Chain A
Amino acid sequence: MGVSIHGGHRAPSAGSDPHHLSPRCDSPTHHPLPAPSPPCSPASPLLLPPSSSASKIDSLRSKVDLLKLPLALSTKSISERKIQLGGAGERRSAGGGGGACTARSPPTRDMDNESQYSGYSYKSSHSRSSRKHRDRRERHRSKSRDSSSRGDKSVTIQTPGEPLLDAESTRGDDRDDNWGETTTVVTGTSEHSISNEDLTRVTKDLEESTPLECKRFIGPALGGCLSFFALITPLAFLILPQVLWRDALKPCGTPCEGLYVSLAFKLLVLLISSWALFLRPPRATLPRFFVFRCLLMVLVFLFVASYWLFYGVRVLEPKEEDYQGIVEYAASLVDALLFIQYLALVLLEVRHLQPAFCLKVVRSTDGASKFYNVGHLSIQRAAVWVLDRYYNDFSVYNPAVVNLPKSILSKKMTGFKVYSLDENTTNNSTGQSRAMIAAAARRRDNSHNEYYYEEAEMERRIRKRKARLVVAVEEAFTHIKRLHEDEAGASPKHPREVMDPREAAQAIFAPMARAMQKYLRTTRQQAFHSMESILTHLQFCITHNMTPKAFLERYLTPGPTMQYQQQSGRGRQWTLVSEEPVTSGLRQGLVFSLRRLDFSLVVTVTPLPFLRLGEEFIDPKSHKFVMRLQSETSV
């Protein structure tokens, strides 16, 4: 954006001067704007025309304001800051709205600013006429952008795939309510937090979109080759003599045919069970070798290799003529393969079914914990097992939910600052920190009080918004009725517009959108639900005749992480952190953790208690009762 010090011809200029408004709105006649800004309403020419003296002051003021802006634009923070600046020193409130008008570079964050304005308009003490102007301008802007979810104002929905509110608006709730507090905050802090969140989001996106690793398929491919080789071997044993020295073979009649049949069926069983048990796409790549699987593959390889060796030495070389013996040999190989498959079944599938250990899984960020019973597994297999359950049982990790609200945390941070004037501070550091902690402990603080009231207030707010949401959704659902086939041609005189589920969803989304947005923002779930996803879910619910309550269950409680997964084949990256080698088995007192970018799951292993079950036989006839007596006899 060009920083030219002209009066009012810069897009992100100060919001505090109304004089900028009209020249910007008559943009075709003035310099072209560096940033895209929507055409402003025709109501704006009601304001003052630009005057040169005021423009000079304004230019200076706008220069100052520009320096205060961070270069990383986020519409919310900029526009919010605009409002603060506007609120600080403005004479006419129209400027505030006008300033924010130009600072909205991405057009999709409408609902964001809209609710912000609502907060602002109730808090500011401006004249009714100016508020009217602002409202009218907002309305025109909304119409011009053709955006949705302005309450009951418009219906068409335009923006696909955007989060309902961007991630920075997690702070917006604090700002909305304590905006006076943050008026003088230096923009530096907010800028850093923006970039941090963006960074984590970007890295997460990057890692989700890593290309398909070929490493994932090496193991199964190897196993597949080996099993194919093993299956072909008996057939090769049978066919090779026929092909090579057919004439010299002793003919064998019925016994051979019987053996052929049994061989065929055993091979068929081997094939089917291999397909059923082993031909599955792998669900996880383990950091080290999967010991049992490797063992089995080595075993199969050894078996087949030794059989081939024996075959080569004893049959192929001397050109053995006893064909029946060869067939029996092939049959014995198939038997051995069946037994190896049995072994594989037991080792890979059955052994770990009997529960032996209890795993406690705790999430490091918010302490959500669960207990699971597992059998004898290696650490890496147990980790995969736990992660399978994690995606279903644990509610989704919401980084926006912190334990202590910021207002209390910040108070805790501002404690005593200890400055050391010496140069060598190494020996004093622990002493200083201890002094600080002791001082902080002695200082009487009421943050627990604030925490309690903050919690209660938050609870109340959530409940209020939830009530509004439920009512809005219930009402919205009453607008739609399913059309049965026999009704279609029944009433020609009342032609009703027939809609498919998508259109029906869009039609009823508008009245509930605002309540939904506010509720999601209060419970800090707005990052998980984009408008598109809400619409899709609404369409789904309408199609399946769900009640409003069923539609809302997805939003009222944070569901398991599985609910929010995008179906990408890339997989999730987890790091197994363990002090023991990960192929060792589980045992008592083992602790390992599964780490992800921003949180980790800590798993503790305890063995299940040994149960000593005793027996007590009760004869059914032994159930006898007497009344409790308190008789009184007169003598």
Chain B
Amino acid sequence: MSFVPGQPVTAVVQRIEIQKLCQGENLILGFSIGGGIDQDPGQNPFSEDKSDKGIYVTRITPGGPAEVAGLRIGDKIMQVNGWDMTMVTHDQARKKLTKKREDVVRLLITRKSLEEAVKHSKGSHPRQ
């Protein structure tokens, strides 16, 4: 998940669609995010590269919409509804996720196990 500045970032991503849950007045998604370009990346327990300032999923409410949709703790969010999440501040990320008008968020997330699965599958099926 580390990137070389100036080069396009490549990652194996998974699409996750979360339906927002209506709880009283708020629409909640059921997870917490951490990270951002204005945050301290060294304290991120989930990132492999401690200079990675991306947005990470730090907590998932059990039984919430995110868990149901397949989001897991430690995932890095690459896009939210088409908006890039790799170079945003923490507050911008929060805003993109909590737009009141949208009740569905489509995320592109990446995690380490995805890459390994792809490698594994590539290795077992070298033709593909």
Contacts and interface: CB of A to CB of B under 8 A. Distances in A.
Does B bind A? yes
A633 B43 contact: no
Given A628-B43, A629-B90, A634 B38 contact: no
Contact of A633 (B32, B38, B40, B61): B32
A630 interface: yes
Contact of B29 (A630, A631, A635): A635
A631 B58 CA distance: 10
Nearest to A627: B40
B33 A632 contact: yes
Nearest to B80: A635
Contact of B59 (A630, A631, A632): A632
Given A634-B59, A635-B29, A635-B31, A628 B94 contact: no
B34 interface: yes
A93 B12 CA distance: 99
Contact of B90 (A628, A631, A634): A631
A332 to B, nearest CB: 80
B5 to A, nearest CB: 22
Contacts of B90: 629, 631, 633
- Which secondary structure characterizes the binding site on chain B? mixed
B28 interface: yes
Which bracket fits the contact residues of A?
under 10
B32 A634 contact: yes
Contacts of A635: 28-29, 31-33, 94, 97-98
A630 B43 contact: yes
A628 B58 CA distance: 18
A632 B40 contact: no
Contacts of B33: 632-635
Contacts of B61: 634
Interface string B22-40: 0000001101111000111
B34 A630 contact: yes
Contacts of A628: 40, 43
Interface in A596-635: 628-635
A633 B39 contact: no
B79 interface: no
A628 B41 CA distance: 10
Contacts of A632: 32-34, 58-59
A632 B61 CA distance: 14
B44 interface: yes
Contacts of B28: 634-635
Nearest to B105: A635
A163 to B, nearest CB: 70
Nearest to B98: A635
Contacts of B44: 630
B61 to A, nearest CB: 8
Interface in A368-399: none
A629 B31 contact: no
A210 to B, nearest CB: 76
Nearest to A630: B43
A629 B32 contact: no
Given A635-B32, A635-B33, A630 B97 contact: no
B19 to A, nearest CB: 13
Interface string B52-89: 00000011010000000000000000000000000000
A463 to B, nearest CB: 50
B31 A631 contact: no
Interface string A527-541: 000000000000000
Residue in A628, A629, A633 whose Cβ sees the most chain B Cβ within 10 Å: A633
Contacts of B59: 632, 634
15 contacts: A630-B43, A631-B34, A631-B90, A632-B33, A632-B58, A632-B59, A633-B32, A633-B33, A633-B90, A633-B94, A634-B31, A635-B28, A635-B32, A635-B33, A635-B94
Interface of A: 628-635
Given A630-B34, A632-B33, A634-B32, 20 more contacts: A629-B38, A629-B39, A629-B40, A629-B90, A630-B43, A630-B44, A631-B34, A631-B39, A632-B32, A632-B58, A632-B59, A633-B32, A633-B34, A633-B94, A634-B28, A634-B33, A635-B31, A635-B33, A635-B94, A635-B98
Which 8 A-B residue pairings sit nearest by Cβ, starting from the closest?
A634-B32, A628-B40, A630-B43, A635-B97, A632-B34, A633-B94, A635-B29, A629-B39
